[in-house]
C-alpha cells in the first residue's frame, strides 16, 4: 500500500489540462501498488487511475509498459488503457515524476482465490500471450536467470539472518538453475507478476489484468510457472493440485503447451520461486523499519522452491492428460 | 494513510447482502483517514465509502457520529450520508469491526488552500453549527480543557526529548488555560477536526465536509478557533491575516459571533492549539517507527500556541469590523 508522492490541486489541474477528459471532480490516494503512487480520479468524463512512477520504475521502460497496455487493450484483452493526451502521447509529468492516466477497471482482486478463479487466470494469461505476440517493442527480463546472481550478491552475506543454512541452500539451487536453465522455449511478452492482486474479478468472472510494470520478453511457460507459484499454493504451504489442474487446463484451452515447455515446467517453477525468494529476501533485509510497505516473508518462497525440487514431471502440477499427449 | 484491516471478497459480499445497493463491482483501499480503514466501493447502485471503525473509535459513539451525519445531510448540509441497511440500521459488522457504508462525496481536499477556500470553510462551519442545533444526541468533548491534563500526564516525562524546555512551557500554559477557560459561551454540536483534509472542493466551490469522528458538544466558537489554527497559518508558521479575515467573515456572514465569543477567541485559540499540540506530542512519542502513519510535528502547534498568547484582541485575527460592532 502506498502513496509515496502527494499531489497538490494546482499541479494536478495543470497536468489534466493536457487531457480531454472533462473537469476534475475528486482524487484519492489508493492504498494499493507497491512500486508507484496511485490515485483514483473522477472527472466529468469518467473514472481513471492516475499513476506517478517512482524511482523503481525506469523512465526508459515506460513506452514499453504503456505501449503494451495500449496494444493488449486494442486486441480486446481487458486491461487498463492509457488515456492519450491532447498531443497523442501517453506520458506526462507530475510532481517531478513521469505520470500517466489510465482507464479504471471494475472488479476486485481475490484475497482467497478459488479453483474457478485459477481456471480464469490461466485462460487470461494464455490470451495475453497470444495478444502480445505481435507487439513491436521488446524489453529484456532483468529478473530472470541472468539477473539472479547479482540480486543474490546483495543479500548473500546476511541470508542466514533469516534462516540458518539459507545461504548454502540458495547457493546450491542457484548454481543448479544456472547450469540447467532451458534454451529455445517459445518466447514472447510475459506479464511476469500475475499475482492475485493483479487480477480483478466481478464475482466469478475475470474482469481484467492490471499492473504490467514487470512485463518483459521471456519464455511464455516461465509466466505459467509464476502463476503456479502465485495462485496454487495454500496458506499452509501445500500445493493445491485441483487449483493447478484448473489453472493449467484454463491456459491450455487457449494455448496448448508444447512438449519442451511441459518438460521444462518443474525447472521453470524452481526458477520463478527463486526469483521471488531473492527479491523478497533483498527487500526483507533492506527495507527500513519505518517504510510504508508491508514486508513479505521470503521463506514462503523457500518452501515453494523445495516443493518444485521434489517434482519430477509436469503432471504432478495437474497438467491435464490431453495436454500431455500433444 | 491507512488500511488497517483488509477485507476478503466473501466477508464483503455477506456484509453487502444487508444493503439494497446492487451488485459489487470493485473495492479499493484508500490511503486517507488516520483513524479507520476506508475503502472506495463501486456497485451497480453507485459509489460509496466503506469504513471499518478501528479501536480508537469507541463503538458506543457510533450512533452519535452516524446519526449526526444523517441529521446534517437531512438539513441540506453537504456531508456523507450513512446508507441505511435493509433493516433500517446504519451500522453493521465486517472483519470483526463495526462498519458503515456512506455515500461518496465528490471533491478533493486542498493541499494549498487559498483565501477563497478559507471564506467557504468559515461559511460551511457556521451552517453546520446552525444545522446541528436541533440534533437530539449529545457527546462530551473528551479533548477539551478537562481532558488535556490526562493527555499531558502521558507525555510530560518525555516532552523535553522533543524540544528543551517544552515541558515547562506546556505546564505553565496548561495551568493558565485551566484557570481562565471561559464558561457560558454558546454551545452546540461542533466538528472539532475541520482541517483541510476534511473539506472537499470542486474548483473554488466547497462540495462537502467529511470525517465527523471527533464531533461533540462544546462551545461553537471553539470550533472557529480550531479552524483558525488549521487554515490560517502559512507553512513558515506565520499567521495569514487575509485568510483569517476571509474565514471569520465567511463564518459571521451566516452566524454572527456574540460579544462574549469574540472576547474569548484568543483564549479559545490558545486552547485549541494546546489540544493539537498534546495529541501530536503523544503520538510523536508513542507511535512505533514501523507504523503505517505519517507522524505530524507537534512543534507546529507550539509555534501557533505562542502566536495566540501574543494576541490581545480578536481583531488581530482579522475579525471584520461589522462583527465587532454587534
Give A211-252 pLDDT, tens digit per residue: 999 999 999 999 999 999 999 999 999 999 999 999 999 999
Has this prediction a pTM greater than 0.90?
Answer: no
Please give the Cα distance from A296 to A294 (Å, whole number).
6
Please give the Cα distance from B326 to B321 (Å, whole number).
9
Q: Do A42 and B2 touch (CB under 8 A)?
A: no
Model pLDDT, residue B293: 57
Stretch(es) of chain B classified as CATH 3.30.200.20:
9-103
* Contact residues on chain A for B289, CB-CB shorter than 8 A: 289-290
Stretch(es) of chain B classified as CATH 3.90.1200.10:
109-325
CATH architecture of B9-103: 2-Layer Sandwich (3.30)
CATH fold for the domain made of A9-104: Phosphorylase Kinase; domain 1 (3.30.200)
Model pLDDT, residue A263: 96
Model pLDDT, residue B121: 98
Please give the Cα distance from B107 to B290 (Å, whole number).
31
Residue pLDDT, tens place only, A133-169: 999 999 999 999 999 999 999 999 999 999 999 999 9
The mean per-residue pLDDT over the stretch A49-58 comes to: 91
Q: Which CATH number fits domain A109-325: 3.30.750.24, 3.90.1200.10, 3.40.50.10320, 3.40.50.1170?
A: 3.90.1200.10
Confidence of residue A325 (pLDDT cuts 50, 70, 90): low
Residue pLDDT, tens place only, A290-299: 555 566 889 9
Question: Closest Cα partner for B262 from B298, B219, B300?
Answer: B219
Please give the Cα distance from A133 to A129 (Å, whole number).
6
* CA distance, residue A120 to nearest chain B CA (Å): 17
Model pLDDT, residue A266: 97
Confidence of residue B31 (pLDDT cuts 50, 70, 90): confident
Model pLDDT, residue B254: 97
CA angle A71, A251, B23 (to 5 degrees): 75
Residue A192 has pLDDT above 70, yes or no: yes
Q: Do B29 and A30 touch (CB under 8 A)?
A: yes
Q: How many CA atoms lie within 13 A of B28 on its CB side?
A: 25
Q: Is B8 helix (H, G, I), strand (E, B) or coil?
A: coil
Please give the Cα distance from B35 to B3 (Å, whole number).
9
Best of A2, A5, A6, A9 to substitute, by most chain B Cβ atoms within 10 angstroms, is A9
Stretch(es) of chain A classified as CATH 3.30.200.20:
9-104
* Contact residues on chain A for B107, CB-CB shorter than 8 A: 25-26
Amino acid at each position: 500500500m502506498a502513496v509515496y508522492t502527494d499531489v497538490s490541486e494546482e499541479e494536478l489541474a495543470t497536468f489534466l489540462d493536457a487531457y480531454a477528459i472533462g473537469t476534475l471532480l475528486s482524487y484519492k490516494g489508493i492504498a494499493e501498488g507497491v512500486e508507484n503512487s496511485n490515485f483514483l480520479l473522477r472527472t466529468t468524463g469518467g473514472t481513471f487511475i492516475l499513476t506517478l512512477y517512482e524511482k523503481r520504475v525506469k523512465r526508459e521502460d515506460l513506452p514499453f509498459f504503456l505501449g503494451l497496455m495500449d496494444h493488449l487493450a486494442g486486441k480486446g484483452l481487458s486491461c487498463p488503457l492509457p488515456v492519450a493526451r491532447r498531443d497523442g502521447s501517453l506520458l506526462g509529468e507530475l510532481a517531478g515524476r513521469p505520470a500517466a492516466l489510465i482507464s479504471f477497471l471494475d472488479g476486485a482482486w481475490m484475497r482467497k482465490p478459488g479453483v474457478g478463479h485459477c481456471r480464469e487466470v490461466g485462460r487470461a494469461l494464455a490470451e495475453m500471450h497470444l495478444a502480445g505476440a505481435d507487439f513491436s517493442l521488446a524489453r529484456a527480463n532483468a529478473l530472470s536467470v541472468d539477473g539472479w546472481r547479482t540480486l543474490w550478491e546483495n543479500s548473500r552475506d546476511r541470508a542466514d539472518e533469516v534462516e540458518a543454512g539459507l545461504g548454502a541452500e540458495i547457493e546450491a539451487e542457484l548454481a543448479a538453475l544456472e547450469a540447467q536453465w532451458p534454451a529455445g522455449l517459445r518466447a514472447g511478452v510475459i506479464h511476469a507478476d500475475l499475482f492475485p492482486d493483479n487480477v480483478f474479478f466481478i464475482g466469478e468472472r475475470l474482469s481484467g489484468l492490471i499492473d504490467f510494470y514487470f512485463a518483459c520478453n521471456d519464455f511464455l511457460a516461465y509466466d505459467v510457472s509464476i502463476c503456479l507459484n502465485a495462485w496454487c499454493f495454500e496458506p499452509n504451504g501445500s500445493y493445491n493440485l485441483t487449483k493447478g489442474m484448473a489453472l493449467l487446463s484454463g491456459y491450455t484451452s487457449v494455448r496448448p503447451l508444447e512438449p519442451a515447455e511441459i518438460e521444462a515446467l518443474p525447472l521453470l517453477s524452481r526458477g520463478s520461486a527463486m526469483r521471488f525468494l531473492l527479491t523478497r529476501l533483498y527487500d526483507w533485509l533492506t527495507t527500513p523499519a519505518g517504510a510504508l510497505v508491508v514486508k513479505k516473508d521470503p521463506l514462503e518462497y523457500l518452501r515453494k522452491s523445495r516443493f518444485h525440487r521434489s517434482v519430477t514431471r509436469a503432471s504432478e502440477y495437474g497438467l491435464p492428460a490431453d495436454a500431455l499427449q500433444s
